[in-house]
């Protein structure tokens, strides 16, 4: 029995694209970017965006806030290889913005292809810096995420 066919997002489905430079060390013995590096790209794209956007909006560096996002869940559908030395574009969008959590979808693209090489899921849960209890997403972060929803 077959289920419904999955349709992967296209490059144009992501409101923000961030360029990531691949490194020689990203490739493994098989000649492609190692699977664990994809998660580093997700982290770099999400946090780089948050830092830049919060600074643009409010002059704030999210790393200095009383609350910060910790990664509670990640996942990746590997669709095709990424290679060094070509840059990667990471498409970002928010699929859910809750009271204390954010669910991101990240598409990794290389070259001119509109089809992703990988699609990731990345969940931030916000906690207080003092005691690590779950806390609401800070207003400046919420504002920074608005273009991604």
pLDDT of the residue at 5: 72
Q: Which residues pair with 17 in a beta bridge?
A: 91
Residue 28 has pLDDT above 60, yes or no: yes
How does pLDDT run across 66-87, given as a tens digit for each residue? 999 999 999 999 999 999 999 9
Confidence of residue 4 (pLDDT cuts 50, 70, 90): low
- Residues 88-109 have a mean pLDDT of 98
- Residues 2-24 have a mean pLDDT of 90
**Residue 107 CB partners (closer than 8 Å, separation 6+):** 8, 9, 11, 13, 14, 90, 91, 116, 118, 119, 120
20 by Cβ neighbours in 10 Å (0-12 / 13-18 / 19+) ranks as buried
Residue 1 has pLDDT above 70, yes or no: no
CATH of domain 12-148: 3.10.129.10
Q: What are the boundaries of each domain within the chain?
A: 12-148
């Amino acid at each position: 029995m077959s289920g419904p066919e999955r349709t992967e997002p296209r490059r144009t489905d992501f409101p923000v694209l961030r360029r990531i430079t691949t490194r020689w060390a990203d490739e493994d013995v098989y000649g492609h970017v190692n699977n664990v590096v994809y998660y580093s790209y997700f982290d770099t794209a999400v946090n780089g965006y948050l830092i830049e956007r919060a600074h643009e909006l409010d002059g704030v560096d999210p790393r200095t806030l009383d609350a910060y996002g910790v990664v509670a869940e990640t996942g990746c559908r590997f669709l095709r290889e990424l290679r060094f030395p070509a840059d990667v574009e990471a498409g970002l969008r928010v699929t859910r913005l809750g009271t204390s959590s954010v669910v991101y979808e990240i598409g990794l693209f290389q070259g001119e292809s509109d089809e992703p090489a990988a699609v990731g899921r990345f969940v931030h849960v916000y906690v207080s810096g003092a005691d690590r209890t779950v806390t609401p997403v800070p207003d400046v972060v919420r504002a920074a995420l608005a273009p991604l929803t």
